[in-house]
Amino acid sequence: MKPLMVAITGGKGGTGKSTIACSLAIALADKFRVLLVDTDVECPDDHIILSVQRRKTDEVTLQIPSFDFSACSMCGKCSEVCRKNAIVFVEGRHPILVRDRCSGCGTCSLSCRNNAIKDEDMVAGFLYDGKLPENYDEKIRRNFRLLSGETTVNIESSARLVDSLMKNARENHDMDFIIIDTAAGVHCNVIHAIMDANLAFAVTEPTPFGSHDLKLILELLERLDVTSSIILNRAGIGNADPVLEVSRETGRPIVAEIEYSKDLMEAYSGGEPLNVPGIDTVAGLLEMQRC
């Protein structure tokens, strides 16, 4: 049986998405083999939350243009087609590449009639894996594995790093669950992380921003044809009515309401094993899905 791929996502940052993804992965690892994939490659923190010592396993590169000025006719076409404005062209001079703005799309190379642009590798980031420390139960440690990625500084596009992470994740056929912790928002990296998910939980909070951005991520999930539900985090410390209204309008159920917990925040800060109150309900739903 293929692993069930579950995305933990959210339109707004700071809703507790990574905390819930980590806690859910730990809860499932008590019975199942679980791979937690941290796809927030510009700000990965699952390894910090779980006190995992990561091991670098691979590097991911972008192919950026390298100019052969002996063949360049200084026509400026490469600059004209670059949507990222990464190639500066002044008439009568050779083009100049601003490496930090290049996304590695290759459009400039395809547009060059003189074959004056070759590919050059640029390191975009690294992949890591890791296991839980010894303060976790032995069975959970045996069943759990973390996969994460992290970009280098000043990278224009990190979607290729997310693609590499997900390709690596899909090759783990021996897992029961793959929990995908996405970045916040509805941008390319989020799309690349959730497009192959079997289902998704949109994590939100009882605030106006929380309900507004919840609508955006639910619309994205619908367009990607990914079955979705809502997890309301920090329930009880704000007005949940707007979130309830979004649930009614979209027909997406709230499967768990997780109350704010000072004890949880202290455990989080201390790097202690996570047990988010109410996460067992979500884990139970996933166990039924797998059956």
Assign residue 205 the CATH number of its domain: 3.40.50.300
Question: Domain tally for the chain?
Answer: 2
147 and 188 belong to one structural domain: yes
Question: What's the confidence (pLDDT) of residue 81?
Answer: 96
35 and 83 together in one domain: no
Strands 34-38 and 117-130 turn out to be: unpaired
Residue 128 lies in a domain: no
Residue 58 CA to residue 65 CA, distance in Å, equals 23
* Spatial strand order in the sheet of 117-130: 55-67, 117-130, 144-151, 34-38, 177-181, 4-9, 199-204, 227-235, 254-259
- Whether residue 125 lies inside any domain: the answer is no
**Residue 234: inside a domain, yes or no?**
yes
Asked whether residue 193 falls in the same domain as residue 219, the answer is yes
Tokens of 252: 């997406």
| Domain enclosing residue 35, as ranges | 4-60+133-290
- Judge whether 123 lies within some domain: no
Pair 51, 74 in one domain: no
User: 49 and 102, same structural domain?
Assistant: no
Does the residue 124 lie in any domain? no
Strand pairing category for 117-130 and 144-151: antiparallel
Residues 76 and 161 occupy one common structural domain: no
CATH of residue 102: 3.30.70.20
Say whether both 80 and 141 belong to one domain. Answer: no
pLDDT of residue 156: 76
Both 46 and 74 in one domain: the answer is no
**φ and ψ at residue 22, rounded to 5 degrees:** -65, -45
Residues 210, 104: one domain? no
pTM: 0.90
- Measured distance CA(276)–CA(290) in Å, rounded: 22
Is 56 in the same domain as 73?
no
| Beta-carbon-side half-sphere exposure of residue 73 (alpha carbons within 13 Å) | 8
Establish if 157 belongs to a structural domain: yes
pLDDT at 124: 92
Q: How confident is the model at residue 240, as a pLDDT?
A: 94
- Each of the 291 residues of the chain gets a pLDDT tens digit; together they read 889 999 999 988 889 999 999 999 999 999 999 999 999 999 999 999 999 999 999 999 999 999 999 999 999 999 999 999 999 999 999 999 998 889 888 999 999 999 999 999 999 999 999 999 998 999 999 999 999 999 998 787 789 999 999 999 999 779 999 999 999 999 999 999 999 999 999 999 999 999 999 999 999 999 999 999 999 998 988 899 999 999 999 999 999 999 888 887 787 777 776 678 889 999 999 999 876
